[in-house]
């Protein structure tokens, strides 16, 4: 059968061209990712370089990026001049306790808001998270002084709930809204009350969301500075305050400051590296519908 007049043979893409396009797409993706991440990576590498160089190289001009004489003296200076071990324990206690309390209160609260569709209350939770922490400081300080909790870890744990609790409620609301209501209705038909349905049906299905909420609450608590600098005492300071104390009026020790900042950043980086799979699974599960 002849080809109709004016008709052109259908173009077919060869496998080689298809593989070439796929390679270009992958290269474009990784190039865009490199551009987006390069500021963060460069800042981290510069901070690492500062922590490993002596003071002479840190103040040299032109700047020296790769240390010529790497040294750990900056880290030794940080631990010798301040009790960083105690501050690390304080940060762990405060971040862990505030995260646990945020989950204990925020998971049931998120479930109740999601099932009752109390969107006004949800907006209030979001506004409380957006409110600057400075607005809470004076009331907190006066209350804790009256209760005798100033300069204690309990003061920091309670104030860090202002950070962790709204995050937990907001994350868990999204997960509980996505759960199939038929599962809980079946439990209620079988004779379970609302709390049994929450404990035995909704809670196990929302574990990925709990992991995400716990990680976010822990990181925000770990990095918090403003509450600790006002409410903590000499023995209850946390690591962000310890980094601030590295600054002196006599000189700006870039190496010691960078070493202290790395000590604070390293636990969060390790935690994120170990649980990144759980974060991705949790975020994906929270975004699925039906």
pLDDT score of 12 more than 60: no
pLDDT score of 242 more than 70: yes
pLDDT score of 289 more than 50: no
The per-residue pLDDT for 240 is 85
Question: Of 239 and 15, which is predicted with more confidence?
Answer: 239
Alpha-carbon distance 154 to 142, whole Å? 15
Alpha-carbon distance 13 to 41, whole Å? 39
Q: Express each pLDDT in 180-216 by its tens digit.
A: 777 666 766 666 677 777 777 777 888 888 888 888 8
Q: How confident is the model at residue 248 (pLDDT cuts 50, 70, 90)?
A: low
DSSP codes of every residue in the chain: -PPPTT--PPP---HHHHHHHHHHHHHHHHHHHHHHHHHHHHHHHHHHHHHTS-HHHHT-SS---S-SS---HHHHHHHHHS-HHHHHHHHHHHHHHHHHHHHHHHHHHHHHHHHHT-HHHHHHHHHHHHS-THHHHHHHHHHHHHHT-TTSHHHHHHHHHHHHHHHHHHHHHHHHHTS-HHHHHHHHHTT--HHHHIIIIIHHHTHHHHHHHHHHHHHHHHH--HHHHHH--TTS--HHHHHHHH--SS---HHHHHHHHHHHHHHHHHHHHHHHHHHHHHHHHHH---
Q: Express each pLDDT in 93-145 by its tens digit.
A: 999 999 999 999 988 888 888 888 777 777 777 777 777 777 778 888 888 88
Task: Round the average pLDDT of the chain to a whole number and report it.
Answer: 78
| Domain ranges within the chain, ordered by starting residue | 39-71, 75-287
The per-residue pLDDT for 100 is 93
What pTM was estimated for this model as a whole? 0.76
CATH class of 75-287: mainly alpha
Question: Of 241 and 98, which is predicted with more confidence?
Answer: 98
pLDDT score of 4 more than 80: no
Q: Express each pLDDT in 160-178 by its tens digit.
A: 888 888 888 888 887 887 7
Q: Express each pLDDT in 67-95 by its tens digit.
A: 888 888 888 888 877 788 888 889 999 99
Q: How confident is the model at residue 1 (pLDDT cuts 50, 70, 90)?
A: very low
The per-residue pLDDT for 282 is 58
Ranked by mean pLDDT, which of 5-19, 42-56, 273-287 comes out on top? 42-56
């Amino acid at each position: 059968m002849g080809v109709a007049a004016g008709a052109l043979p259908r173009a077919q893409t060869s496998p080689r061209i298809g593989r070439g396009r796929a390679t270009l797409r992958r290269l474009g993706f990784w190039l865009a990712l490199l551009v987006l991440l390069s500021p963060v990576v460069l800042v981290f590498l510069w901070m690492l370089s500062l922590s490993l160089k002596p003071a002479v190289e840190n103040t040299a001009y032109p700047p020296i990026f790769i240390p010529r004489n790497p040294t750990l003296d900056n880290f030794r200076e940080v631990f010798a001049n301040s009790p960083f071990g105690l501050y690390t324990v304080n940060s762990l206690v405060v971040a862990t306790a505030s995260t646990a309390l945020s989950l204990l209160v925020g998971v049931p609260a998120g479930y109740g808001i999601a099932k009752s569709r109390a969107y006004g209350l949800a907006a209030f939770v979001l506004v409380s998270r957006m409110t600057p922490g400075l607005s809470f400081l004076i009331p907190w300080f006066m209350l804790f002084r009256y209760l005798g909790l100033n300069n204690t870890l309990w003061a920091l744990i309670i104030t860090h709930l202002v950070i962790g609790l709204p995050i937990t409620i907001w994350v868990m609301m999204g997960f509980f809204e996505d759960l199939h209501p038929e599962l809980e209705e079946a439990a209620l038909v079988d004779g379970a009350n609302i709390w049994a349905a929450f404990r035995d049906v909704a809670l196990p299905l929302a574990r990925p969301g709990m992991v995400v909420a716990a990680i976010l609450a822990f990181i925000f608590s770990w990095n918090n500075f403003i509450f600790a600098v006002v409410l903590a005492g000499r023995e209850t300071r946390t690591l962000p305050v310890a980094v601030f104390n590295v600054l002196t009026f006599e000189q700006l020790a870039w190496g010691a400051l960078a070493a202290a900042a790395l000590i604070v950043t390293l636990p969060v980086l390790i935690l994120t590296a170990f649980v990144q799979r759980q974060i991705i699974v949790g975020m994906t599960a929270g975004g699925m519908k039906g």
